[in-house]
Amino acid sequence: MNGAIRSEFRKIFTTRLWWGMAIGVVVVGGGLAAVLGGLAGQGEGQNALPALDKPGMVTTVYTAGLSLAYLLTLAIGVMVIGAEYRHKTITATFLSTPRRVEVMLAKVVALLGVGAFYGVLFCLSSVGVGATIITLRGFDPFPAGEHVWRTLALSLLALGLWALIGLGAGILISNQVAALLISIGIAWIGQSLMSLAFLALHWTTANELLPANATNAMVSGLSRGFSGETVDQLSWWGGALVLAAYAAVLAGVGSFLTVRRDVT
C-alpha cells in the first residue's frame, strides 16, 4: 500500500502539472484577496460590502479565490485517472499492483494530500497578501483568531474533497477532455445557473446543498444572492458533511466501477 501511494505521488510531482497548478493557486489566492481586501467597506446600500472590522469579512478576503482554486484541484482529480486511460498506463498500473482496491485507495490518499498541499500554498498566498492589505487599511488581520484559523484549515479540506470529486468525474466520463470540460463547466457555470434558478423558485434547501454553496458554508464566507440579498447557508460542519458526501459518492462509485471494469 505504501508503495502504491508513493507511486501516485510520483505520477503527479514528476510532471510539469504540479508546479503549473501551484502557480495558478498562488495567483488566484493572492490576487482575489487583494481585490476583495481593497473593496471591503465600499459601496452603498444593499450592495455594500461589510468593513474589515468584521471577522466574517476578513475570512471572506482570505478565501476569495477558493472558488477558482477548487476548480484547479478538481481538474487534477480528473487528470489523475483520465491520463491513465488516455495514455493506456492504467494496464501497467494494475499489473504492478494487482489489487485494484489498493490502487484506488492510493489515488484517494494521494489526492487528499495534494489537495492539502495546494491548500497550504493557497492560504500562504491569500493570507500573506490579504493580511498585508488589511493591516495597511488599519484593521486587525486576525480578529476572532480561532474562527479565522478554522476557516483556513477547512480550506485545505475543501480543496482535497474537490480533488476526489474530480477523480469520480474522471472515471464516470471516460474521455479525459470531455471529463475536464463537463466537470469544470458544471462546477463553474452550471452551479451558478442552478443557484439562480433555485433562488428564483425559493428552493432554499436545494440551493444550500449545491457543492459550491456547501464549500462556501464550510469556510464561513459571505453568502449573497444575485441581487445582493443575504442568502441562507449551512453551518460550517454541515457544509463539510455535504461536500464530503459528494466526494465519497463520486469517488466511491467511480472506484467501484474501476475495480470491476475491464481496462484492456
- The three state secondary structure string of the chain is CHHHHHHHHHHHHCCCHHHHHHHHHHHHHHHHHHHHHHHCCCCCHHHCCCCCCCHHHHHHHHCCCHHHHHHHHHHHHHHHHHHHHHCCCHHHHHHHCCCHHHHHHHHHHHHHHHHHHHHHHHHHHHHHHHHHHHHHCCCCCCCCHHHHHHHHHHHHHHHHHHHHHHHHHHHHCCCHHHHHHHHHHHHHHHHHHHHHHHHHCCCHHHHHCCHHHHHHHHCCCCCECCCCCECCCCCHHHHHHHHHHHHHHHHHHHHHHHHHCCCC
Amino acid identity of residue 151, one-letter, is: T
10 Å CB burial of residue 3 (0-12, 13-18, 19+) is exposed
8 A C-beta contact, residue 162 and residue 70: yes
pTM across the whole model: 0.87
Q: In the chain, what is the straight-line distance between the N-terminal and C-terminal CA atoms, in Å?
A: 23
8 A C-beta contact, residue 222 and residue 50: yes
Query: Within a 10 A sphere around the Cβ of 204, how many other Cβ atoms?
Result: 13
8 A C-beta contact, residue 76 and residue 21: yes
Q: How far is CA 185 from CA 142, 147, 190, 194, 242, in A?
A: 35, 32, 6, 12, 20
Query: Within a 10 A sphere around the Cβ of 23, how many other Cβ atoms?
Result: 12
Grid cell locating 67: 472558488
How does pLDDT run along the chain (264 residues), one tens digit per residue? 788 888 889 888 988 888 999 999 999 999 999 999 888 877 665 556 777 877 788 888 999 999 999 999 999 999 988 888 888 888 888 888 888 899 889 999 999 999 999 999 999 999 999 999 999 998 888 887 678 888 999 999 999 999 999 999 998 887 889 999 999 999 999 999 999 999 899 898 999 999 999 999 888 655 444 334 455 678 889 999 999 999 999 989 988 888 887 776
Quick one: pLDDT at residue 246? 95
Residue matched to cell numbers 505520477? 11
Quick one: pLDDT at residue 100? 86
